[in-house]
């Protein structure tokens, strides 16, 4: 086991089983957005939301005014019902075992502020050495700058790190920087693939 190793885990679709994609789409459908408009919103307003540039009330107000969507007042709090607020127990135990062996473990996630705050408040991040959240740092994956920020936080390099994510574009960006990468499909596969890399 390499004690100089750092492993960065995405939250949704990695630490938590649910990717959040369908949940977000369903919220947008409920206010009248079709799939094409939902994609536009995700690439624009929701990305600003993930960067922490706008708050939840701002997000829904923009959707009401800019796209004339049927957003009822009050609409805040809808994200509190996402099943991905809770981590997969097998992943948590595995992360804990890595820490006991001297491996540094961190979360590197694109996440909106209300979800970040709930996970933090309920202790979901406690097992990790550090959390790099897009809404806190103003950057999102796959921007190179957020990976650089994460490496600086953990005082390591890409060559000494593994990055686990469920989105291919985020994996590709990390691989270009020299990270070893794992494209997540489920908890069993994540643990199996990490063990192959680190000799668990």
CA 53 vs. chain centroid, Å, equals 17
Provide the pLDDT for residue 1: 55
Residues 91 and 57 in one domain: no
Residues 97 and 170 in one domain: yes
User: Is residue 43 included in any domain, yes or no?
Assistant: yes
CATH code, 98: 3.40.50.1000
pLDDT tens per residue across span 148-184: 999 999 999 999 999 999 999 999 999 999 999 999 9
Range of the domain at 110: 6-17+87-198
Q: Is the pTM for the entire model greater than 0.75?
A: yes
Of 81, 109, 126, the position where a domain reaches its end is 81
Long-range (24+ apart) CB contacts under 8 A made by 171-177 are 172/142, 173/141, 173/142, 173/143, 173/144, 173/147, 174/142, 174/147, 177/144, 177/147
Residues 146 and 165 in one domain: yes
pLDDT tens per residue across span 78-113: 888 898 899 999 999 999 999 999 999 999 999 999
Residues 69 and 132 in one domain: no
Q: Is residue 130 over pLDDT 70?
A: yes
| Confidence bin at 2 (pLDDT 50/70/90) | low
Residues 35 and 95 in one domain: no
Q: Is residue 121 over pLDDT 80?
A: yes
User: Is residue 67 included in any domain, yes or no?
Assistant: yes
Q: Give the total number of structural domains in the chain.
A: 2
Of 81, 96, 115, the position where a domain reaches its end is 81
Residues 193 and 168 in one domain: yes
Residues 71 and 118 in one domain: no
Task: Collect all residues with Cβ–Cβ distance below 8 Å to 10 and sequence separation of at least 6.
Answer: 107, 108, 109, 110, 141, 164, 165, 166, 167, 170, 184
Residues 138 and 121 in one domain: yes
- The Cα 139–Cα 155 span in angstroms is 19
Query: In whole numbers, what is the pLDDT of the chain averaged over residues?
Result: 94
Q: What percent of the chain has pLDDT over 90?
A: 89
Residues 105 and 192 in one domain: yes
Of 29, 51, 81, the position where a domain reaches its end is 81
């Amino acid at each position: 086991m390499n004690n100089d190793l750092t492993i960065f885990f995405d939250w949704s679709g990695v630490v938590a089983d649910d990717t959040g994609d369908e949940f977000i789409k369903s919220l947008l459908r409920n206010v009248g957005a079709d799939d094409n408009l939902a994609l536009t919103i995700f690439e624009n307003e929701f990305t600003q939301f993930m960067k922490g540039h706008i708050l939840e009330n701002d997000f829904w107000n923009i959707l009401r005014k800019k796209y004339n969507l049927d957003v009822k007042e009050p609409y805040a709090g809808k994200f509190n019902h996402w099943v991905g607020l809770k981590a997969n127990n097998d992943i948590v135990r595995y992360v804990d075992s890595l820490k006991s062996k001297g491996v540094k473990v961190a979360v590197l996630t694109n996440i909106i502020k209300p979800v970040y705050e709930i996970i933090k408040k309920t202790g979901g991040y406690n097992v990790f050495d550090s959390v790099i959240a897009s809404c806190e740092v103003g950057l999102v994956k796959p921007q190179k700058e957020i990976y650089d920020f994460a490496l600086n936080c953990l005082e390591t390099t890409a060559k000494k790190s593994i990055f686990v994510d469920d989105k291919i574009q985020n994996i590709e960006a990390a691989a270009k920087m020299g990270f070893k990468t794992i494209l997540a499909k489920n908890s069993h596969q994540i643990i199996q693939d990490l063990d192959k890399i680190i000799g668990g």
